[in-house]
Structure 1
């Protein structure tokens, strides 16, 4: 079993933290978000820490519609 990532409430998932975890897939992550923002300027993401799961998760919305998923 892999160790939990993004589980420290005191460590906000900045780009540096995310890129340290995703390694060589960084260009894919960057390209994905650049493309989404270009096509849908109303798209927004927000990191939140959830105590019930003891993990940071990204909340993604487009206008008022929320999307969910996990990496």
Structure 2
């Protein structure tokens, strides 16, 4: 049995994070994250390569803040 190391989200606001990390940080699935991109709820990613899409950690934290504000 393999165990995953504890999840830590980057504290550096300019650090790049992948879709899986965005979803895990927000407590949603990867498919939900990509659906939000398609719907325009979150910004389109920066492309580092043909199969590498990233967002900044600061942006993902702002999405979390917006979700918390909208829930109230």
Higher relative contact order (CA 8 A, sep 6+): 2
TM-score bracket, normalised by the shorter chain, equals 0.3 to 0.5
TM-score, length basis structure 1: 0.35
| Higher normalized strand content (fraction of residues) | 1
- Higher relative helix content: 2
